[in-house]
């Protein structure tokens, strides 16, 4: 047996614990991981929104396909209640799609392979339709992100645009106010490749992820050098995808080598 990589996603957790133990393990996690007190703390410290990742199986809750277990939809419902109670907004982010868009554990992959493509578009749009129908009229809904971190070249630009248009239309069936977030492809892809496509859509945002964590050039940088890099290089990168009369930009993730000890 050759182990390609070690995965620690929800598929591996629920599959590993099995149908008898996994439901309680996951319920304990949902009960403790985020609570109303967390929203109160965030709100009291000036934060006004949270981004919540969800998996494609949430649309089948409370009886999702095996090995996933029910409960994630209730957890998301709770988050919307707590957000409303504390005057906050929620970005619902489809983090894991059927077939996996990048092969990483957070994308719901079974075995590390990236298999999402044209054949998965209809099922993925159905998940967006489910989420939009459920939360469109909730005052705490800020936006729906159609997919997190699709990886090039496995996810082709044509397939991504086809899906993004169908996902956008699914959201607009229920709300004209919520923003629709389109995640840029990671890997060997042009950071501006979605700009022309997005210009024809209303209240659309391009999500860019800036990782310093996986580059050796940051290994010997101190805190101030990391900060300077953000103000120079990252500011320039962001300006390149934030054009006049174009879509808004959203830095969905920034990870660096700055650690707190």
Choice between 2 and 82, residue whose per-residue pLDDT is larger: 82
Q: Locate tokens 């909730």: which residue?
A: 138
Joined tokens for residue 179: 């923003």
Q: Report how far residue 241's alpha carbon sits from residue 81's, in angstroms, rounded to the nearest whole number.
A: 34
* pLDDT computed for residue 214 by the predictor: 57
Q: Look at residue 6 and tell me whether its pLDDT is greater than 80.
A: no
Q: What is the DSSP letter of 68?
A: -
Q: Locate tokens 């229920």: which residue?
A: 174
Q: Look at residue 55 and tell me whether its pLDDT is greater than 60.
A: yes
Ranges of each domain in the chain: 10-189, 210-261
Choice between 223 and 60, residue whose per-residue pLDDT is larger: 60
Position 256 confidence tier, pLDDT thresholds 50, 70, 90: very low
Position 254 confidence tier, pLDDT thresholds 50, 70, 90: low
Terminal alpha carbon distance of the chain = 38
Mean pLDDT score, 58-72: 97
pTM of structure: 0.90
* pLDDT computed for residue 85 by the predictor: 96
Burial 182-205 (b: 16+ CB within 10 A, else e): bbbbbeebeeebbbebbeeeebbb
29: number of Cβ within 10 Å: 14
Q: Look at residue 4 and tell me whether its pLDDT is greater than 70.
A: no
* pLDDT computed for residue 249 by the predictor: 87
Q: Look at residue 259 and tell me whether its pLDDT is greater than 50.
A: no
Q: Look at residue 165 and tell me whether its pLDDT is greater than 90.
A: yes
Mean pLDDT score, 224-249: 82
- What's 10-189's CATH class? alpha beta
**Pick from 16-20, 22-26, 221-225: least confident:** 221-225
Task: For the chain, give the percent of residues with pLDDT over 70.
Answer: 92
């Amino acid at each position: 047996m050759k182990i390609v990589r070690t995965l620690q996603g929800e598929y591996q957790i629920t599959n590993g614990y099995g149908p008898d133990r996994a439901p309680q393990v996951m319920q304990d996690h949902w009960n403790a991981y985020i609570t109303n007190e967390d929203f109160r703390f965030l709100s009291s410290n000036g934060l006004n929104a949270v981004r919540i990742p969800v998996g494609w199986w949430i649309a089948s809750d409370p009886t999702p396909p095996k090995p996933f277990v029910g409960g994630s939809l209730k957890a998301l419902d709770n988050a919307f209640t707590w957000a409303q109670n504390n005057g906050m907004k929620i970005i619902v982010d489809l983090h894991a799609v059927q077939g996996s868009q990048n092969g990483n554990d957070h994308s719901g992959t079974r075995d590390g392979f990236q298999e999402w493509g044209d054949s998965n578009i209809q099922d993925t749009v159905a998940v967006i339709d489910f989420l939009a129908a459920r939360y469109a009229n909730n005052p705490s809904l800020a936006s729906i992100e159609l997919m997190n971190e699709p990886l090039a070249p496995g996810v082709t630009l044509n397939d991504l645009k086809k899906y993004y248009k169908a996902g956008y239309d699914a959201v607009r069936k229920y709300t004209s106010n919520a923003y629709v977030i389109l995640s840029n492809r990671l890997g060997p892809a042009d950071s501006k490749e979605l700009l022309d496509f997005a210009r024809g859509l209303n209240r659309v945002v391009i999500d860019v992820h800036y990782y310093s964590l996986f580059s050796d050039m940051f290994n010997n940088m101190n805190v101030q050098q990391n900060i300077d890099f953000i103000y120079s290089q990252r500011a320039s990168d962001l300006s390149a995808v934030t054009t006049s009369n174009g879509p808004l930009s959203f830095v969905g993730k920034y990870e660096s080598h700055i650690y707190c000890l």
